[in-house]
Structure 1
């Protein structure tokens, strides 16, 4: 079994770990750029297993890795279609294999990065340093940033609602030109709502190919056959393609936590939680990509200044309350939730909605948005969650 010391260990080679590595390698501080770094994960192969979507690209390391962008979005619900052209934002997607390959290449060229393919078993404080136990040995560093394991203090955090955003997607190519590559379907709720709040989103890359993703907000996952049935039905009924008219060239599947609890900032002394394990997933939407890049830029800036990284700042109180209210309705009143989404996109611009979801709006804008929605479900959620709202959410 191996035993080595490094300056910094990054445990987990998903978007959060890789983006942190990028910021460290591109630091303006020469000493930080030259620190010995270990990047560890159970597998370090370049595979396409995710498509990351976002609409605020200011913190994206590589703009050229954006696979496709859209200025127009549409949402469908109850037989109605709402379309909007973005002015403040563009909606982007990045393929995980493009992103991973680029940063792995930089890591191999850097000369100060060691890649370790091993199971990550745990972390511990080691007398002023941090220790990582793996299936291939124990490694120490001045600090560890981890996105691989659930923090041990997670179970003690306040929790009222815990849902999953689970999904499966097929990248298909069709013989017929059925897609408009200028318009992305953000949410199509005109699908069966049997297992929880369900929708399909479509990312069209050309007239002939697109990613079709079936998504559900619920406590329980469904079977692989259930996802396949949802996607096949949508392709057949909405896109009017039978199985002989398209080919599936790639599939993906995932689960994202949607919870109203805070995540501990640290696993233990000198071990920081990052990414989803650091609580950076937006509870009510599941969006994480932009938030982790913003956080990792903050970590790198602190290290450049010779300081320990500050704990990640929680969302402002009012946004935590908004998230809890929406989660409550998604959990307890899924049928009302679709109505809420219908009214949200019917009465508000897409730019304002995306700004609200990115927590960039001011209270008067938020009041205007909430005034456009059915008020009874939110008052009921406030009453049901008053014990949390009154104590800081």
Structure 2
């Protein structure tokens, strides 16, 4: 069996971002690294958006917005998010950027295989694919085992699930300078449902129907709602350029408790997705930097993860929506109606101070969250 210092099981966002940070640091040039994935990452399978005030991956940012719209059935508010910008990156552009860098490194390799198992055996690990096996010092696993969450009841599981259409319309109805962050004016049907719109011109946009709920819908239900929304925008003729769909687990389950000395779970498999919103890209950039720094001084992956106040905030939010899934529109509307957009975005990025946290929390409906706090005290 061939031996590597580090093996990544999966080559999605978290794995590629961690390898990218390793390369940038230049501290791992003497380490052999293998990424294993059955997916070659040759298609544009997803879109990542995030807000920031620096130049993070600006070379592949395909669109920027200086303002964002929040709406529900009774009000609309255009959010001035300066000095932030809301930015969009296509999945394929990110894959190409990182793989181009990877293929220039003599110590990093990619294998197009399916990982079927991995385990720690004393001071080394074994990774098995459908055709061969490898040994290594450390495993970085990004393959999510969702059954770990489903087979327990302490931490409820919601799902952020969506279908999006990239369309080109006959009518010029979009404002290319303003993204629709959340539009709750669509019928809620007992869930948390909203539209998400990313316009790239007056006639082109990604329109995404998104839910935070326990159960998925049939494809026709998502697409019917998108068609209704397009009609509501005043569009009579359009063509679908591309489609995307996804399902992001929303849970505060302690994935990191499955880390061992030599195996770490990363990405969604490690709890790197923000539970209350499903935001992934910005969280992963932070976690990957922290992990690469950690590797330079520590050897035991069980020491990597630390809970913070934001994990507890997310836990309460998931508890509230799990008990009453229709409350999502009310919670987000209470925050955005009179809140400072910059403070809100800092809060959603886990970067707010405790005083700023209180400003956000105080705007939320009190009774559901007090009940959630009480129930959590009992469970803990």
TM over 0.5, shorter chain: yes
Output the TM-score relative to the length of structure 1. 0.90
2:267 corresponds to which of 266, 270, 275 = 275
Q: Is 1:204 the equivalent of 2:199?
A: yes
After superposition, the Cα gap between the structure-2 partners of 1:222 and 1:305, relative to the gap in structure 1 and judged at 3 Å, is same
Using the alignment, how far apart are the partners of 1:171 and 1:7 within structure 2? 42
Structure 1: gaps spanning 5 or more residues: none
| Contact 2:260–2:300 (8 Å) recurs in 1 | no
CA shift digits 1:228-261 (9 cap, x unpaired): 1111111111x2113xx21111111111111132
Equivalent in the alignment of 2:361: 370
After superposition, the Cα gap between the structure-2 partners of 1:266 and 1:88, relative to the gap in structure 1 and judged at 3 Å, is farther
1:46 corresponds to which of 35, 42, 47 = 42
CA shift digits 1:51-70 (9 cap, x unpaired): 0111247694x321111121
| Contact 2:172–2:203 (8 Å) recurs in 1 | yes
Using the alignment, how far apart are the partners of 2:53 and 2:143 within structure 1? 25
Equivalent in the alignment of 1:240: 234
| Contact 1:295–1:312 (8 Å) recurs in 2 | no
Structure 2: gaps spanning 5 or more residues: none
| Contact 2:67–2:179 (8 Å) recurs in 1 | yes
Q: Is 1:341 the equivalent of 2:329?
A: no
Using the alignment, how far apart are the partners of 2:304 and 2:248 within structure 1? 19
CA shift digits 1:273-330 (9 cap, x unpaired): 111111111111111211111111122223344755574434423x233222222222
CA shift digits 1:47-95 (9 cap, x unpaired): 11110111247694x3211111212011111231011111242211111
Using the alignment, how far apart are the partners of 2:6 and 2:373 within structure 1? 44
Equivalent in the alignment of 1:111: 106
Segment drifting more, 289-298 vs 12-21: 289-298
Q: 2:256 is paired with a residue of what secondary structure?
A: coil
| Contact 1:151–1:273 (8 Å) recurs in 2 | no
Equivalent in the alignment of 1:35: 31
Using the alignment, how far apart are the partners of 1:167 and 1:314 within structure 2? 30
Q: 2:294 is paired with a residue of what secondary structure?
A: helix
RMSD: 2.2
Using the alignment, how far apart are the partners of 2:185 and 2:72 within structure 1? 5
Equivalent in the alignment of 2:315: 324
Equivalent in the alignment of 2:87: 92
Output the TM-score relative to the length of structure 2. 0.93
1:147 corresponds to which of 138, 142, 149 = 142
The alpha-carbon deviation at position 188 of structure 1 amounts to 0.4
Alignment of 1:135-284 (within 5 A): 135-150=130-145, 159-194=154-189, 196-237=191-232, 239-242=233-236, 245-284=237-276
Q: 2:101 is paired with a residue of what secondary structure?
A: helix
1:13 corresponds to which of 11, 14, 21 = 11
The alpha-carbon deviation at position 385 of structure 1 amounts to 2.8
Using the alignment, how far apart are the partners of 2:114 and 2:53 within structure 1? 32
Q: 1:23 is paired with a residue of what secondary structure?
A: helix
Number of residues paired by the alignment? 380
